[in-house]
A and B are shown apart, each in its own frame.
Chain A
Amino acid sequence: MQLADQRTIAADPATVWAAILDPEVLRVCIPGCESLTGSPAEGYEAIVTQKVGPVKARFTGHVTLSDMVEEQGLTISGEGKGGAAGFARGSAKLAMSPAEGGTLLSYEVDVHVGGKLAQLGSRIIDGFSRKMADQFFERFQSAVEGPSEGEDEPEAVAVGAEGEAPAKKGWFKRMIKR
């Protein structure tokens, strides 16, 4: 399953780049992420809980960042094992460039699943992957940009693993501005 999309983020490339390299940003943006520890250089150990159709699983896996070109792009790859539910493996190739109003973030996402996930969930895996990617980048955008005037918490931020606290929009930007 492959998909590609792009969106403009209202921040300069340096801010976007810093955000991508921040484990806390990744943790908050990966839907269903319970924990993420490590560093950009070493990679991260992640625990993610997700439900794909009839299959709910807690994935433990490794996330690596590669092809890193500062303020231009990188590839985020992850592979998680969900026990009896099977495995999921994916990568997102991100490219960023200055654009009017901020940074144009283009991404190509490639997702593979195996085991019970593929056996039972394949029919919905395309839609699921698109939803996950949308959520990730929406969260990323709101983490970097902060809230627009008068807007309620978007639903996407609240979606994720049960018990996951919705993050305040724009918190990353506020943090680095302090």
Chain B
Amino acid sequence: MPKDGGIGASTLRREDIRFLTGKGRYTADINLRGQAFACFLRSEVAHGRIRSIDTSAAEEMPGVLAVMTGEDFTEVGGNPTGWLVQSRDGATMKEPKRPVLAHGKVRHVGDAYALVVAETYEQAKDACEAIEADIEELPAIVDMAAAVADTTNRVHDECDDNVVFDWGWIEENRAAVDAAFETAPHVTTLELVNNRLSPNAMEPRASIGDFDSGTGDYKLYTTSQNPHLTRLLISAFVMGIPENKLTVIAPDVGGGFGSKIYHYGEEAAVLAASKRLDRPVKWVCDRSEAFLSDAHGRDHVTKIQLATDMEGNFLAVRTETLANMGAYLSNFATCTPTFLHGTLMAGPYKTPHVYVNVKAVMTNTVPVDAYRGAGRPEATYSLERVIDKAADELGIDPWEIRRKNFIDPDQFPYTTPVGLVYDTGNYHATMDKLRELSDVAGFEARATESAAKGKLRGFGLSTWIEACGIAPSNLVGVLGCRVGLYDAATIRVNATGNISVLVGAHSHGQGHETVFAQLIAEKLGVDAKSVEIVHGDTSKIPFGMGTYGSRSLAVCGSAMMKAADKIIDKGKKIAAHMLEAAEGDIEFNDGSFSVAGTDRQKSFAEIAFSAYVPHNYPLETLEPGLEETAFYDPANFTYPAGAYGCEVEVDPETGGVDIVRFTCADDFGNVINPMIVAGQVHGGVAQGIGQALLEGVVYNEDGQLLTGSYMDYAMPRADDVPNFTVDHSCVTPCTHNPLGAKGCGEAGAIGTPPAVVNAVIDALHRAGHRHITHIDMPLTPSRVWTAMHG
């Protein structure tokens, strides 16, 4: 049994005490002496040329301190893309400029082109209305196919065909893949849309810029998943503020789901305004603005083809995707549909030939970037949908077609045809576990019960794999990433034996303060209560890359383990001196240093005290203090995987879909806190159900956002989701990190959408609607009903 509080214990989340009692301290809760308030003026048209902006009336408004426009930022840099992707022909992608405030043109509804700073937020907002902008409206480019077809109308003049890159993965394999299709006995083709999503973190974005004219130091409080990355982008690309003069603090952050990875122009703008006014400048995004300015997710239009023999053995997979970038390239927009999507198109299957083509398209819409799962949900959805369609065409059971194509447990490490090396896994085990937990045997009886109520019951299966624990820096460097993707941790053992752990990962819902304390408690044999986790402040923590891509435990956790090893090594040296023994004879177990084979020992606290009060200490060979930092750069991605089963009841009268059972069997490698893992899966599944049944961003042909509030954008609510059955007892530990951990944060959002859609299609097939092969998400009652009756 795991000991209470250590690895494997479902320790309650310590951070919840402050969150649930209103003591969390979010950016909007921070009020600095003398702060002024910013409001951004955002474009109401999707595409327009800025002829002139007259700010004179706004400047005269009560309380107004400054009005800034794109003109004020022509001397600074732009927000860069973090990943340069090469086109199939070897050309480097186009990188259209992304200024702090729109300059010359506005490119989407919500594109900020002016900023007012005033004594109060209301005054700033009023003054925004007094800004007279003459904007010549241009035709909006909304539809991706139209953007590609009509190259005379361009989102960016420097992107002459609205296509940022045309990516082939792996281009050298294309001919072989095409040849496999030529000779394949059966080809299944599916065209589908992976719907655009709005992230809707509970806490909207907020930023406070605080310039200190006494020291020349800047401080930025902001809603970020990765404060060091934000600081790097602002320093190296946007503002040119030296990193040593800029501190970025991301305090409590209420959810991110990817949308708070990126640096946004508002952050640079409040810093610049603070410097101009020599006062702190605070901006808090309202919900309407968030719909118009937080990076959206997904938005792929894909044609996928699966070549098989008549027994259902996969011979080849081929995809063509248009990936919507929106109006500007958000920091990781280019890697999401490529290296986080194309590289996963083998799934957990031993398909010998796979080729992925992705065109990244600019449109006059909010920028699109990574959103929970990021590329991997898109890959999984395409693959798991086309497999179900192929199984149906070939008359093969969906479980069977997957089972016969799984990479077998004895094939690891397994090199896929799309460039990844899966270190370990057992896909049969998770699917068997799912079959057991989802009570397949009882399905027909349940279907009969549903039929008695006039409902159509169906079962949907999906399997999923992702590459997470992002990422080996040397590998991503070759692929065009402009940063390294290691993480870092400092373990500071204090003189009285308690411990501060300063980590590069950032917690915004993941429960790091609890889980990381469990890790250190277990590793150093101390009480978890004596371990404090510090994150989110670049002036305190080492240079880590933050939290996204299910990486925190696998990457930052591994850095913590490395740092803890250094602490133990140094502790042994100190203990050897104090115990007058050879260093090689010192053992560390359960929080105490002992001489092997004797009862002579020193507690962890005694060693710590000696390190800081080094009266009896090997000062000639060893520095005082007990503080160690480690950086960990993963040797490979981690590959969690699993199988999901969804049971639905479709109301044939309305087309309404009710999810009545949902079962997950996941392999996350070693699990530190099962309760938190289950919570992560619950949240991910709820988001997956949201995508499958409810959510979808809609623009009209003018580029106006029609789903701009919760009246029109349907988030999943408690009554939209069932009680989940969640299992993570199938464990194949990661082979290359010290924890054997793989990551669990995105799983639910990846595995769920195809399971839901497969279930609905199954229900309709069972009811005789055999002609329905696909319905695009979200599967609203109207879409399902229309498919049945249309």
Contact = CB atoms under 8 A, between A and B. Distances in A.
B225 interface: no
> Which 10 A-B pairs have CB atoms at the shortest separation, nearest pair first?
A119-B708, A115-B44, A118-B704, A122-B706, A114-B44, A83-B129, A86-B44, A120-B709, A84-B129, A114-B704
B711 interface: yes
B712 A84 contact: no
A120 B288 contact: yes
Contacts of B700: 118, 122
A112 interface: yes
Interface in A97-129: 112-116, 118-120, 122-123
Interface of B: 44-45, 109, 125, 128-129, 288, 291-292, 700, 702, 704-706, 708-709, 711-712
Given A120-B708, A120-B711, A114 B125 contact: no
Contact of A114 (B291, B702, B709, B711): B702
Contacts of B44: 86-87, 114-115
A113 B292 CA distance: 16
Given A86-B44, A114-B45, A114-B109, A123 B712 contact: yes
- Among B288, B291, B292, B706, find the residue whose CB has the most chain A CB atoms closer than 10 A: B706
Given A112-B702, A114-B702, A122 B712 contact: yes
A119 B129 CA distance: 17
A83 B292 CA distance: 17
B711 A123 contact: yes
A38 to B, nearest CB: 21
Interface in A74-93: 83-84, 86-87
A119 B288 contact: yes
Chain A interface main SS type: helix
Contacts of B125: 84
- Among B129, B704, B706, find the residue whose CB has the most chain A CB atoms closer than 10 A: B704
Nearest to B44: A115
Interface string A29-60: 00000000000000000000000000000000
Contacts of A112: 702
Contact of A113 (B128, B129, B291, B704): B704
A119 B705 contact: yes
Contacts of A113: 704
14 contacts: A84-B129, A86-B44, A115-B109, A116-B288, A119-B288, A119-B291, A119-B705, A119-B708, A120-B288, A120-B708, A120-B709, A120-B711, A122-B704, A123-B712
B552 to A, nearest CB: 35
A69 to B, nearest CB: 28
Contacts of B704: 113-114, 118-119, 122
B131 to A, nearest CB: 10
Contacts of B129: 83-84
B128 A118 contact: no
B288 A118 contact: no
A118 B708 contact: yes
B709 A119 contact: yes
A84 B39 CA distance: 12
Contacts of A83: 129
Contacts of A120: 288, 708-709, 711
Nearest to A53: B711
Nearest to B711: A123
Contacts of A86: 44
B128 A84 contact: yes
A8 B708 CA distance: 40
B427 to A, nearest CB: 44
A118 B712 contact: no
- Among B125, B702, B711, find the residue whose CB has the most chain A CB atoms closer than 10 A: B711
A62 to B, nearest CB: 14
A63 to B, nearest CB: 18
Contacts of A123: 706, 711-712
B768 to A, nearest CB: 35
- Among A87, A118, A123, find the residue whose CB has the most chain B CB atoms closer than 10 A: A118
Contacts of B702: 112, 114, 118
A115 B135 CA distance: 14
Contacts of A122: 700, 704, 706, 708, 712
A169 to B, nearest CB: 37
A168 B291 CA distance: 46
A120 B45 CA distance: 15
A123 B292 CA distance: 17
Contacts of B711: 120, 123
A115 B125 CA distance: 15
Given A115-B109, A123-B711, 20 more contacts: A84-B128, A86-B44, A87-B44, A112-B702, A113-B704, A114-B109, A114-B702, A114-B704, A116-B288, A118-B705, A119-B109, A119-B292, A119-B705, A119-B709, A120-B288, A120-B708, A120-B709, A122-B700, A122-B706, A122-B712
